């Protein structure tokens, strides 16, 4: 067995421009051996990358993907990316099938302790491509880097008659934070399963590994709960502005979860409570203190709804929902909301979560919640998600000191639904106008005093849907900001540099165009 070893050693992280060799740039249209992106152009920027333009690899009709049994799913995924535009068969064969000289080889194990369980090593030469990782998560992340080294045309769905040259070089890469998430609000406006899957495919490209689905809110309830069927039958029929509603059957939700898992993304479902519950309380009068159902709401006001904290049926309802959602969710976490509960008194808020948070452990789950839950002194296994634009929060800092890992999503940096500028037709602006540079130019480890890097779970980019109705709307608000949040979550802090990032970001434009992504062409970026 020949091990995948590097004949070189990287030193400490250095500015990537110092690794670029003369002559590595070129016009791919004029020179079939020139490439559109090299290893130093990857987003998120790798920990270590060394281009070798003299060792470009050419994919041909003879190329195979070699993968051992446990890597076959990743191999088949990669083949599925390469076949449509090339028209090549790209068969996935056994790792030890050496019958073909042209190969992309996926190897599991012995990738080194530095890359951990999410990182990878990538080596592109004239003779082939070798991708090595300790886990399939790492291999999948490496595939996302490799696909950026192909011409953007590789993302087209019809055969393109052209040369398929991959930039030569070596990469050693691993994430800064374990959790790198995106959130999609399907409650304010409903998005069908295929739309959610489209977004999953898009975020997976940037090594996002959690999808937080905001399933319930005042305007709609989007998940079938068999023990409380009117949640879907009534609460699932409304949306902001009177637009059509909808909900996921349990089978549809499971299918989304499984699809995300095939992209190495864990779904974190959110049931928002004790506020943001009008859709539930319109479905069942017994969830209200007076026993009467409330009228449905389709406006975008917040802070007016609350479950009735003193009623025993409230906790039967909550536990039934948690039990059914937990049974459909393989991931460790369920998001229990906790934000903007202005209609719940402070005492009732604490009473509610003192009863609800322990329920999760009964069903082998842990809590994630908006950072407001820290006042209830949750167990240290709980992850508070910081969403406020404010640059200080003593309660969150105290929770971090107690041992809670904080997930960073400050609205003026990470919220993808904030308008880019005053003329942006979609989105809101309560947290300010957030251009591409604004969303990139921050460090989660220094944003809040008293919350340091070791106390962070990671970062998440939420996308609220009050103003979004279509996949094109999702894409316009998410891209290009999401790739910047992904880089903040993945790449070392020492590599964080706006000018270098915007140059790399510009080269993502042709990829998004080929994929049909409706991205915002920010004037801050010189798009290619």
Say whether 224 sits in a helix, a strand or coil. Answer: coil
**Which of 477, 425, 431 has the alpha carbon at shortest distance from 182?**
477
Out of 48, 340, 466, 475, pick the active-site residue: 340
Tokens describing residue 83: 């076949």
What is the Cα–Cα distance from 519 to 504, expressed in whole angstroms?
A: 16
Name every residue whose Cβ is closer than 8 Å to that of residue 113 and which is 6 or more positions away in sequence.
none
- Phi/psi region, residue 386 (left: phi>0; alpha: psi -120 to 50; beta: rest), is beta
CA 245 distance to own-chain centroid: 25
What is the Cα–Cα distance from 18 to 34, expressed in whole angstroms?
A: 20
Tokens describing residue 81: 């990316």
Our answer to whether residue 340 is catalytic in this structure is yes
Run of H or E residues at 496: none
Say whether 266 sits in a helix, a strand or coil. Answer: strand
What is the Cα–Cα distance from 220 to 186, expressed in whole angstroms?
A: 8
What is the Cα–Cα distance from 95 to 61, expressed in whole angstroms?
A: 18
What letters, b where the CB count within 10 A reaches 16 and e where it falls short, cover 493-524? eebbbeebbbbbbbbbbbbbbbbebbbbebee
Helical ranges in 18-135 per DSSP H:
72-86
What one-character-per-residue DSSP string does 353-390 give?
Answer: HHHHHHHHHHTT-EEEEEGGGGGG---TT-EEEE--S-
Name every residue whose Cβ is closer than 8 Å to that of residue 293 and which is 6 or more positions away in sequence.
281, 282, 283, 284, 285
**Which of 518, 523, 493, 494 has the alpha carbon at shortest distance from 506?**
523
What is the Cα–Cα distance from 256 to 260, expressed in whole angstroms?
A: 6
Run of H or E residues at 439: helix 436-440
Helix axes 72-86, 136-149, angle to 10 degrees: 20
CA 407 distance to own-chain centroid: 13
Tokens describing residue 470: 């279509």
Active-site residues: which are they? Answer: 340
């Amino acid at each position: 067995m020949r091990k995948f070893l590097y004949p070189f050693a990287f030193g400490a992280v250095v500015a990537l421009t110092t690794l670029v060799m003369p002559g590595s740039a070129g016009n791919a249209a004029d020179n079939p051996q020139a490439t559109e992106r090299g290893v130093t152009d990857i987003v998120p920027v790798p920990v270590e990358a060394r281009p070798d333009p003299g060792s470009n690899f050419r994919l041909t009709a003879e190329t195979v993907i070699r993968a051992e049994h446990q890597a076959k799913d990743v191999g088949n995924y990669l083949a599925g990316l390469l076949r449509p535009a090339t028209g090549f068969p790209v068969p996935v064969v056994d790792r030890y099938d050496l019958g073909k000289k042209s190969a992309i080889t996926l190897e599991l194990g012995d990738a080194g302790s530095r890359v951990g369980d999410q990182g990878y090593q990538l080596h592109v030469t004239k003779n082939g491509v070798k991708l090595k990782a300790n886990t399939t998560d790492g291999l999948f992340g490496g595939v996302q880097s490799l696909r950026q080294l192909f011409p953007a045309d590789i993302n087209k769905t019809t055969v393109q008659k052209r040369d398929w040259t991959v930039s030569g070089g070596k990469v050693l890469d691993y994430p800064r934070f374990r959790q790198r998430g995106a959130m999609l609000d399907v409650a304010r406006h409903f998005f069908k399963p295929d739309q959610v899957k489209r977004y999953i495919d898009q975020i997976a490209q940037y090594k996002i590994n959690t999808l937080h689905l905001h399933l319930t809110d005042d305007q709609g309830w989007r998940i079938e709960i068999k023990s409380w069927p009117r949640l879907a039958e009534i609460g699932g029929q409304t949306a902001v502005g009177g637009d059509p509603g909808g909900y996921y059957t349990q089978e549809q939700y499971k299918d989304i979860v499984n699809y995300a898992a095939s992209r190495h993304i864990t779904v974190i479902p959110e049931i928002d409570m004790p506020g943001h519950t009008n859709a539930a309380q319109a479905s069942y009068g017994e969830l209200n203190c007076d026993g009467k159902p409330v009228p449905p709401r389709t406006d975008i006001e917040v802070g007016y709804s609350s479950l009735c904290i003193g009623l025993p049926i409230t906790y039967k309802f909550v536990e039934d929902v948690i039990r059914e959602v937990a049974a459909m969710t393989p991931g460790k976490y369920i998001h229990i909301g906790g934000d903007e509960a202005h209609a719940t008194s402070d005492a009732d808020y604490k009473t509610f979560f003192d009863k609800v948070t322990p329920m999760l452990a009964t069903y082998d789950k842990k809590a994630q919640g908006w950072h407001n839950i820290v006042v209830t002194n949750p167990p240290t296994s709980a992850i508070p998600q910081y969403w406020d634009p404010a640059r200080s929060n003593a309660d969150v800092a105290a929770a971090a000191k107690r041992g809670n890992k904080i997930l960073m999503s400050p609205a003026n940096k990470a919220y993808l639904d904030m308008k880019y500028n005053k003329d942006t037709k979609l989105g809101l602006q309560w947290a300010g106008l957030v251009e591409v540079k604004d969303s990139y130019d921050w460090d989660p480890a220094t944003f809040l005093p008293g919350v340091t890097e070791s106390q962070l779970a990671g970062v998440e980019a939420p996308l609220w849907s009050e103003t979004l109705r279509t996949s094109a709307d999702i894409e316009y608000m998410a891209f290009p900001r999401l790739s910047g949040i992904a880089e903040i979550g993945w790449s070392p802090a020492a590599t964080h540099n706006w000018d270098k990032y915007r140059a790399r970001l510009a080269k993502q434009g042709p990829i998004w165009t080929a994929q049909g992504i409706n991205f915002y062409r920010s004037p801050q970026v010189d798009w290619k």
